[in-house]
Amino acid sequence: MLAVLGWVHVAAGYHPIGDAAARTRVSDDPMINATQLPMAGAWQVVFTIMCLEWVSTYVAPPPKDAPWDVIGWSRIIAKSDDDSWKMAQLREINNGRLAMMAIVGLVAQDMFTGDYVAGIAQPCLGNVVCSGTGAGWDFVNPWPTTPFVMPPLYPQ
């Protein structure tokens, strides 16, 4: 879920940490932006993951009956035998699976077409009518022309 949220933020042009770490304006394309990350930033991510793994394995391991409960909130929030709690957990798992498929789709779209939802920062995304600007949606033929021309993979 955080990967999809990060993708949208980068595509919208909001990446203050990337700009500060690279000391220059980085790309709005998330696939190019990932390659522009300095090695120090990548190692910070790896080190943070290592620290979280170490804490949840040795310092404060989760209970044996609930290994997913790293923080220990399941005793405080709800009883695990409650049906509404089980339904809430099932909804959360399904939303996570949907987000995983979404990020795979976003990466595949960017790799195959070069389109990374670049207009997401605009108030009117794509061809939607935008308060009389003239560039409106064509309701008769909303699809692109049939001889599809592949756009350049990473336009400059």
Residue-wise pLDDT for 137-151, tens only, equals 444 555 555 565 666
Please check the confidence at residue 118 and state whether its pLDDT lies above 70.
no
Residues 89 and 68: their CA atoms lie apart, in Å, by 11
Instruction: Note the pTM of the prediction, 2 decimals.
Output: 0.61
**Residue 133 pLDDT greater than 50, yes or no:** no
Q: What is the pLDDT of residue 98?
A: 95
SS3 annotation, the chain: CHHHHHHHHHHCCCCHHHHHHHCCCCCCCHHHHHHCCCHHHHHHHHHHHHHHHHHHHHHCCCCCCCCCCCCCCHHHHCCCCCHHHHHHHHHHHHHHHHHHHHHHHHHHHHHHHCCCCHHHHCCCCCCCCCCCCCCCCCCCCCCCCCCCCCCCCCCC
Residue 83: pLDDT above 70?
yes
* Other beta carbons less than 10 A from residue 84's beta carbon: 9
For residues 21-38, average pLDDT:
83
Query: Average pLDDT for residues 86-108, to the nearest whole number?
Result: 92
Give the mean pLDDT of 108-121: 80
For Cα atoms 110, 115, 116, give the angle at the middle one, nearest 5 degrees.
70
Q: What is the residue extent of each domain of the chain? A: 2-121
pLDDT of residue 37: 80
Q: Left (φ > 0), alpha (ψ -120 to 50) or beta: where does 63 sit? A: beta
- Mean of pLDDT values over 30-38: 85
